[in-house]
Amino acid sequence: MSPALETIRLDDLTPGEIVVHVRYSSINYKDALAATGKGAILSRFPLVGGIDLAGDIVASGDARWPVGTGVLACGCGLGESRDGGYAHYARIATESAVALPAGLDCRSAMALGTAGLTAALAIAQMEHNGQRPELGPIAVSGASGGVGSLSIDMLAARGYAVVAVSGKSDASDYLRVLGATEVVDRAAFAAGGKPLATARFGGAIDCLGGDVLASFLKSVRPRGNVASIGLAASPELHTTVLPFILRGVNLLGINSVDVPQAQRAAIWQRLGADLKPRHLDVIAAHEVSLPELPAQFASYVESKAVGRTVVKIAA
């Protein structure tokens, strides 16, 4: 299986009440897995890829969404079971749409994309559950990736000390620019050891799963929160109940695909305001055109990508 550009008709797209002239999209790990066939992402084939999109409504069957409205959509089956954002036009369901919030244009919205939504959901849920800067530093794994980079920036802006955990030895300067106070090699979080380790972190955001997530759980201070958002290393988790029953550690699952529309809209409003990253131009410095897109996916599945890649679809 390999990604390719094809010409299709608007009538070929999956059903939806809104037609969007897509201006920008982005590349996520899930997009790369789908495009290369490295992951079981697609529920139907062929399918237009791209789990993110932002643009302008050009046709609408719903009076609540008039023509000309700036809109974005992330997840909701796009690029998995529904045709997604890697096309000049997309047809989406009204429940997938979010009005482009104040503080963001189409490009900056896609610099955030699903990665930004996921990071914001994790921070919002952690803070709802009592996370505060005074509880101690937050560890972020997969730190140089999209979710990791955005999480570091958002957390640092909110007053947290951030420990970036990365397997990329050359990413240290980049991570410190985003706000990391310490950069630790991912190899330090190997399997084994005692079921509880020294409690050094106030909480954590984990993009990897496997050994790193297990290490975070046994290294978090009492009543801290660990947000699990990805499986870039492994879908497995081998741990004990001790962090939960002796320290009251909370493991929070973050799902950015099936978020209720009202909650999604509220989080996007915050992404244009108090959760807007300070270094979005650094994180999303890489931009490609639609014809350049197929060549980009390999770096994601090989864990070589840093930050976010924005895809310019139409002028």
Residues of the chain with CATH 3.90.180.10: 10-100+285-312
pLDDT above 70 coverage of the chain, percent: 99
Longest dimension (CA), the chain: 59
Beta bridge partners of 253: 228
User: Going by DSSP bridges, is the β-strand pair 89-92/70-74 parallel, antiparallel, or unpaired?
Assistant: unpaired
- Distance, CA of 49 to CA of 31 (rounded, Å): 7
User: What pTM did the predictor assign?
Assistant: 0.94
Half-sphere exposure for 298 (CA within 13 Å, toward CB): 5
Fold classified for 115-253: Rossmann fold (3.40.50)
Residues of the chain with CATH 3.40.50.720: 115-253
* pLDDT at residue number 85: 96
The backbone torsions φ and ψ at residue 228, rounded to the nearest 5 degrees and listed phi first, read -100, 115
Q: Helices 106-128 and 146-157 sit at what angle, rounded to 10 degrees?
A: 70
> What torsion, rounded to 10 degrees, do the Cα atoms 269, 154, 152, 212 define?
-60
- Distance, CA of 263 to CA of 233 (rounded, Å): 29
pLDDT digits (tens, 9 = 90+) for 10-59: 988 999 999 999 999 999 999 999 888 887 887 888 889 999 999 999 99
* pLDDT at residue number 45: 83
- Distance, CA of 118 to CA of 123 (rounded, Å): 9
* pLDDT at residue number 1: 60
pLDDT digits (tens, 9 = 90+) for 96-125: 999 999 999 999 999 999 999 999 999 999
Query: Which position has the token pair 């955005």?
Result: 150
Give the homologous superfamily in CATH for domain 10-100+285-312. Answer: Medium-chain alcohol dehydrogenases, catalytic domain (3.90.180.10)
